[in-house]
Amino acid sequence: MRLVLPSFSAVPEETPVDQERGIGDPCCRPPFPDNVPLWDKLEEDPDNGVVLPPAEPPAEPTIGLKELTDQIQAVMQRLNERAQATAKLLLEKPKNYLQ
């Protein structure tokens, strides 16, 4: 004889939000085909129907990668020097109070 235990899940089965509320939640329903904007309508301003110009392409970089890398390294060097100076001051401060 084989003992069959009832199935038990530690995680309860989830009820969709719209069923839980008892209403048809619009966020849980797929859009109706009538509500899906057509590709030719996406660039139109809904207020006046004027077709907007296409977005401008991104601007060309004004600085090269090498120059940018050099600037980042210079900033990191200054931050490192300031951090070391601050640490030195903090370590010296207790000595001044003990004297």
pLDDT in tens, 10-57: 555 666 655 655 555 555 555 555 555 555 555 554 556 666 777 788
This prediction has a pTM of 0.36
Amino acid at 83: A
15 in a structural domain: no
Alpha carbons 66 and 15: distance in angstroms, whole number: 56
Instruction: Kindly state whether residue 24 falls inside one of the protein's structural domains.
Output: no
Is residue 78 situated within a structural domain?
A: yes
- When comparing pLDDT for 35 and 68, which is higher? 68
Look at the chain and report how many structural domains it folds into.
1
Tell which phi-psi region holds residue 38, choosing left (phi > 0), alpha (psi between -120 and 50) or beta.
Answer: beta
Average pLDDT, the chain: 72
Q: Is residue 41 part of a domain?
A: no
- Choose between 49 and 85: higher pLDDT: 85
Does a structural domain hold residue 26? Answer: no
Q: Are 43 and 52 in contact (CB under 8 A)?
A: yes
Residue 49: inside a domain: no
Containing domain of residue 78, as a range? Answer: 63-99
